[in-house]
């Protein structure tokens, strides 16, 4: 539909009669109707630290699996790396190893960990607790690696379902924390699926993405899109901090005899 814009009123005052020129009303209206800048939200996805089962077994959603000594060290290091950031909330998958990792982050900010069902580990069904070396010999393993969008675990969920509920949960978090920085502690496969979604990568390629224990992947999200700022990062996160406030240059700067030229 084409919108018709009325021409501005004609100024009929005589030159020099002191009358102020008329402001074009359509310009004023357009300025008033300009949308406010869209606030961006920093979403930090952290994978839990290691357990004694990380590597040889597929822990899945099995209860009672705590962080190992090495895992507690990784979680503490993660909390220290995030300590200087303005974290507004810390969410975690409702499994021991993710909650324990998240607590190491939350304590630096005086926050309570909020559990979030939507970012829980994939439901591996009958594969839960299996040895990866044995699972790798199955036909389903080949599908999981080569065409994961078509993979469904026996009496569990599909990887496509996992991606859908993971992204839905993250979008809800972002909507509740507009303009803030939030941390979500989850698991390797859900985080890889979220990375694929926000970077426009098909789920069938998500196995090419690496997500290490206690790593951080950071996104800048607005209503107009997503930008990945960091991926699988285990180093310094200082650049995720907001820029320092500009010094107040109003008043009489340079009037105290410092010799600075304008």
Average pLDDT of the residues in 224-233: 95
Instruction: Average the pLDDT over 54-71 and give the result.
Output: 96
pLDDT at 214 over 90: yes
Residue 5 domain flag: no
Whole-angstrom CA distances from 260 to 45, 213, 249, 253, 256 are 47, 52, 14, 10, 10
183 domain-assigned: yes
Q: How remote is the C-alpha of 52 from its chain's centroid?
A: 28
Confidence grade of residue 235 (pLDDT, cut at 50, 70, 90): confident
> Angle at CA 168, nearest 5°, toward 80 and 62?
65
| Banded pLDDT at 12 (limits 50, 70, 90) | very low
pLDDT at residue number 236: 73
The CATH number of whichever domain residue 62 belongs to comes to 3.40.50.1240
Using pLDDT thresholds of 50, 70 and 90, give the confidence band for residue 258. very low
pLDDT cut 90: percent of the chain above it: 74
Specify if 144 maps to a domain. yes
**Across residues 91-113, what is the average pLDDT?**
98
Give 243's contacts (C-beta < 8 A, 6+ positions apart): none
Could you list the residue range(s) of the whole structural domain that residue 140 is in?
A: 41-235
Judge whether 225 lies within some domain.
yes
pLDDT over 80 (residue 35): no
* Predicted local confidence at residue 25, as pLDDT: 53
How high is the mean pLDDT of the chain?
A: 86
**What's the pLDDT at 2?**
38
Over residues 193-221, mean pLDDT: 97
Tell me the pTM: 0.79
Q: In sequence order, what are the beta bridge partners of 173?
A: none
Q: With respect to residue 11, please indicate whether it lies within any of the assigned structural domains.
A: no
Tell whether 260 is covered by a domain: no
Residue 34 covered by a domain = no
Domain total of the chain: 1
pLDDT above 70 for 5: no
Contact 199, 228 (CB under 8 A): yes
Q: Please indicate, yes or no, if residue 114 is contained in any of the structural domains.
A: yes
CA separation for the pair 203, 148 (Å, rounded): 7
Residue 244 has pLDDT above 90, yes or no: no
User: What is the reported pLDDT for 39?
Assistant: 85
First to last CA, the chain: 53
């Amino acid at each position: 539909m084409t919108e018709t814009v009325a021409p501005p009123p004609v100024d009929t005052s005589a030159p020099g009669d002191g009358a102020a020129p008329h402001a074009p009303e359509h310009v004023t209206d357009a300025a008033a109707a300009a949308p406010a800048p869209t606030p961006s939200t920093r979403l930090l996805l952290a994978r839990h630290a290691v357990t004694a089962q990380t590597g040889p077994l597929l822990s899945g959603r099995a209860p009672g699996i705590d962080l190992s000594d090495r895992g507690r060290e990784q979680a503490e290091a993660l909390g220290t790396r995030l300590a200087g950031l303005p974290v507004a909330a810390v969410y975690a998958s409702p499994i021991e190893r993710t909650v324990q990792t998240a607590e190491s982050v939350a304590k630096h900010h005086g926050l309570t960990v909020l559990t979030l069902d939507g970012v829980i580990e994939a439901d591996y069904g009958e594969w839960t607790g299996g040895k990866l070396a044995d699972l790798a010999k199955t036909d389903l393993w080949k599908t999981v690696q080569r065409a994961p969008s078509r993979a469904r675990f026996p009496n569990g969920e599909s990887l496509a379902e996992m991606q859908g509920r993971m992204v839905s949960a993250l979008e809800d978090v972002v909507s509740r924390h507009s303009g803030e920085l939030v941390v979500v502690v989850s698991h390797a496969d859900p985080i890889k699926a979220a990375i694929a979604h926000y970077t426009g990568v098909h789920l069938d390629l998500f196995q090419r993405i690496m997500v290490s224990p206690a790593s951080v992947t950071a996104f800048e999200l607005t209503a107009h899109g997503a930008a990945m700022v960091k991926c699988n990062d285990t180093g310094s996160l200082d650049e995720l901090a907001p820029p320092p406030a500009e010094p107040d240059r109003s008043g009489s700067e340079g009037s105290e005899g410092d010799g600075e030229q304008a």
